[in-house]
A and B are shown apart, each in its own frame.
Chain A
Amino acid sequence: MKGYLGIDVGSVSTNIVFMDEQTNVLESLYLRTNGQPVATVQKGLGQIKEKLPAKVVVRGVGTTGSGRQLTGIVVGADAIKNEITAHAVAASHLVPGVQSVLEIGGQDSKIIILRNGVVTDFAMNTVCAAGTGSFLDQQASRLNIAIEEFGDIALRGSTPVRIAGRCAVFAESDMIHKQQMGYNLDNILAGLCEALVRNYLNNVGKGKEILGPVVFQGGVAANAGMRKAFERALGLEVQIPKYFNVMGAVGAAMLAKDAVSKGVPTQFKGFGVADMEYKAGSFECDGCPNLCEVIEMAEQGKIIARWGDRCGKWSNALATREASRSC
């Protein structure tokens, strides 16, 4: 069997998928990054290899997410792409003709606007916690309900309570207030979903023309209450793709397929990467008052990458060969 690997390394979670030549996702894996992207990817590669038939041939590998560069170097990626492009590629593959992609993950959320299959606009929010999955997690645990039940309970709310959703701090105190006033849980949760959707549309989706088909992806898409709140706010049907949770990795695998499509041999170093020794070290450069914390990655004792320098003094020094472009 031949196929492609897609790896999405974020600050919270790491996803790996294996996709066959017909772009069917055969295996997918979700791991917590725990601040150790390389070790997590190694572990993930080991696990996915176990799941796949012994004679599998990896024809290409793609990486995305905030750890894309690092992981790309470690595994030998054919495509190293930012998460916005990867998500857009995956969405337009799984839902042909999609014009708007709403994405809410644990730490950040984004919106991608496509027209005629091409990204024409996007926005990303990483600062405001009120617009992300971890905010929902927090509120669920404060109300003592499991996050998995959140959506179903919210769906039962027939008259959502209006909750100030501009900022996580306001939302939380407003919610406590509404609870004390005696509103029932269904309606509070439904109201929370609406507040989150309002926050998302005002901050991330500000000024963007959201046309159907609309795709909603990222971890929060599992929450049925959120989907309903989006449908109400937009007056459009909202679709949730089959692999809503691992779209970044799906996109990365597709981009890898693209990259090797013209007969370019893959750079993949093989599943043996899982057993190699990688060591990340760091030092403070005293070349100037920026005092950059330069991080370096060694593979079997040999430095293979450095980054973190503002001026390029260290990262450029390793790259004296033909400049490799990541785009």
Chain B
Amino acid sequence: MKVTFPHMGYMYISLKGMLEYLGIEVVPPPPCSKRTLNLGVKHCPEFACLPLKLNVGNFIEAREIGADTIMMAGGCGPCRFGYYAYVENEILKDLQVHFNLVVLEPPEKHIGELLGRIKKITGNQPWVKVIKALRFGYLKARAVDQVEKSSFQKRPRELIRGATDRALKQAIHEIDSAQTPQELTTAEEKSREIMESISIDINRPVLKVALIGEIYTLLEPFANGNIERHLGNLGVEVDRSMMLSEWINDHLFMGLIRNAPSSKRFIKVASPYLNHFVGGHGQETIGAAVWYGQQGFDGALQILPFTCMPEIVAQSILPSVSGDTGLPVMTLIMDEHSGEAGMVTRLEAFVDLLQRRNEQKEALTS
């Protein structure tokens, strides 16, 4: 059995860590690229969203390098994502690309449900070992999140253009290579040193912008046109409303790990605007806008794939959040036709808008 899964940013590091810990052979797809997208666009319905197209592209490319089993998350509720695993598998079957499909529905009541579903892949391995592997995967996700967060802070302040990109690549590689929890501890230490070694200008004024919206387009840089890099290069410190480890804890472990940041903080503050589930992360998106407004951020960017229903609901509510909190919000809709140049123009204009607002505020208070 050679297991693969769709890409979503650095998720592969965590999944690979977990599965390899159990001695399962893993074949992650090549990183999302133009080729991946072209394959997906060619074989998927035109009105399907970008994540579906990229997933299918990932699977075709993973099959080419020998993967034979797909492990994928399922879902529930009004968002289409719940049936993506099955639809994708049907598309692949039509293309004569054959896989075994294992769908991991998120547990509804208890983490035991998750363990039951994972068993299809882990076979008869003892529970203790499976739980240890899950924990290892989670720790890797957390380590990657730390490195990413540090890159958000360094990039707008770096003295040498591109230094953060290079360091990030190295640091991620350290974490990816760790085979055991002990090695991971050393790797974390090393990756921290690598990130610390980027020379920065501490006093450079930077704007703070939150990235909110749909999880896939937030986490997968290919899908969001490398938005974090573009913003960093424009002198903006970003904060992403969803980090992988947080999502794992919230949705797969059902909040088992205490004292970790949770998207519950968003749901709480969303209630004056939207107090019920609309599928996906629509409710969290509204809450995140409110929350970042309260934290004194300069602005927020909502990112979503074209045709994403929960985020469209959120988009229509965001102007009132913006009006009440004074937090400027811009929406970017991603699909295979989105050009990076057009996106950069909008980002620049948005950053200008925030900067001039700031200057005006300072002029008024001084």
- Which of B165, B345, B346 has most A Cβ within 10 Å? B345
Q: Does B226 belong to the interface (CB within 8 Å)?
A: yes
Q: Does B353 belong to the interface (CB within 8 Å)?
A: yes
Give the shortest distance, in Å, between A67 (CB) and chain B (any CB): 10
State the CA gap A183–B32 with chains docked (Å): 54
* Chain A residues within 8 Å of chain B by Cβ, number: 35
State the CA gap A133–B130 with chains docked (Å): 62
State the CA gap A326–B348 with chains docked (Å): 9
Contact status of A289 and B35, CB under 8 A, knowing A119-B356, A120-B328? yes
Q: Does A66 belong to the interface (CB within 8 Å)?
A: yes
Minimum CB distance partner of B31 in chain A: A288
Q: Which one of A82, A120, A316, A320 contacts B348 once the chains associate, using CB atoms below 8 Å? A: A82
Q: Does A322 belong to the interface (CB within 8 Å)?
A: yes
Q: Which one of A122, A317, A323 contacts B353 once the chains associate, using CB atoms below 8 Å? A: A122
Q: Does B128 belong to the interface (CB within 8 Å)?
A: no
Q: Mark B34-66, 1 if CB is under 8 A from A, else 0.
A: 111000000000000000000000000000000
Interface size classification for chain B:
20 to 34
State the CA gap A58–B159 with chains docked (Å): 31
Could you tell me the dominant secondary structure of chain B's interface residues? helix
State the CA gap A249–B341 with chains docked (Å): 20
State the CA gap A223–B235 with chains docked (Å): 40
Q: Does B101 belong to the interface (CB within 8 Å)?
A: no
Question: Please, which residues of chain B bring their CB within 8 A of the CB of A326?
Answer: 234, 348
Q: Does B352 belong to the interface (CB within 8 Å)?
A: yes
| Interface pair B234/A327, CB less than 8 Å apart | yes
| Interface pair A316/B30, CB less than 8 Å apart | no
| Interface pair B353/A120, CB less than 8 Å apart | yes
Q: Which one of A66, A119, A124, A316 contacts B162 once the chains associate, using CB atoms below 8 Å? A: A316
Contact status of A327 and B345, CB under 8 A, knowing A207-B319, A290-B33, A316-B162? no
Question: Please, which residues of chain B bring their CB within 8 A of the CB of A319?
Answer: 161-162
State the CA gap A124–B357 with chains docked (Å): 20
Q: Which one of B34, B328, B356 contacts A290 once the chains associate, using CB atoms below 8 Å? A: B34
Question: Please, which residues of chain A bring their CB within 8 A of the CB of B342?
Answer: 124, 126
Question: Please, which residues of chain B bring their CB within 8 A of the CB of A207?
Answer: 319
Give the shortest distance, in Å, between B168 (CB) and chain A (any CB): 11
Chain A interface (Cβ < 8 Å from any Cβ of B): 66, 81-85, 116-122, 124, 126-127, 207, 288-291, 310-312, 316-317, 319-327
3 tightest A-B CB contacts, nearest first: A316-B162, A84-B349, A289-B33
List 14 additional contacts besides A82-B348, A312-B229, A323-B158; criterion CB under 8 Å: A82-B345, A82-B349, A84-B352, A85-B348, A121-B328, A124-B345, A124-B346, A289-B34, A291-B33, A312-B165, A316-B162, A319-B161, A321-B161, A327-B351
